[in-house]
Amino acid sequence: MNQITLNAVVRNEQGSNAAGRLRRAGKIPGVIKRISGESTLIAIDAYEYEMTMRGHKGNQALVTLKIGETEIAALTREIQNDVITGKVSHLDFGEVDMNKTVRVEIALNITGTPDGVKNGGGILQIARRSIHVDCLPADIIEIVDVDVSALKVGESLMAAQIQLGDKYSVTSHKNSVIATVAGA
């Protein structure tokens, strides 16, 4: 994953009025949940955030938050969007220890045309578009390609069949269906 660095400033005001003033000033209010249990209120430039995050697929990204001279490794935990404009209205980050595993959700990109669709007249049904994985923060990936071209009619691809390598431990239930080819 590419290194993402966001500049942030500590904010002292909280509440919906203060958040509205920040948004009108072109900032996104946010919070960092620290490892110590404390929370730090921050503000990030909305334009900088949009330009930095464009092209990133997943909602959980490892970022370095630069607050003055301090750099904090954090994972994006929640992104709230305005229901009318769709613009980001609030960001929640969780500080991470780069030497401890974290649980993240990784998007699945289903590739290939199943044999059961080409030759058996079946229909590909996609049940899940993501899986949960435990890994070190530096090893987080946004999306993984999953080839379903070998599936025949009546066969399914399960979460346990997705191989990501030794750095990753799939924590989604092993019998979770990712994709299946149903008869027409």
Q: What is the reported pLDDT for 1?
A: 52
Find where tokens 């609030």 sit. 90
Per-residue pLDDT band for 58 (boundaries 50, 70, 90) equals low
Q: Which two tokens stand for residue 181?
A: 């080819």
In angstroms, the CA 1 to CA 96 distance is 16
**Average pLDDT of span 112-136:** 93
Joined together, the tokens standing for residue 178 give 């990712």
Phi, psi of 21 (to 5 degrees): -60, -40
Q: What is the pTM of this model?
A: 0.80
Residues 7-49: tens digit of each pLDDT: 999 999 889 999 999 999 999 999 999 999 999 999 999 999 9
Cα separation values, 84 from 46, 81, 91, 166, Å: 17, 9, 17, 43
- Determine the residue type at 7: N
pLDDT tens track for 86-102: 899 999 999 999 999 99
CB 181 within 8 A of CB 123: yes
Q: How far apart are CA 80 and CA 108, in angstroms?
A: 22
Picking from 137, 127, 115, 131, the residue whose alpha carbon sits closest to that of residue 164 is 131
pLDDT of residue 142: 86
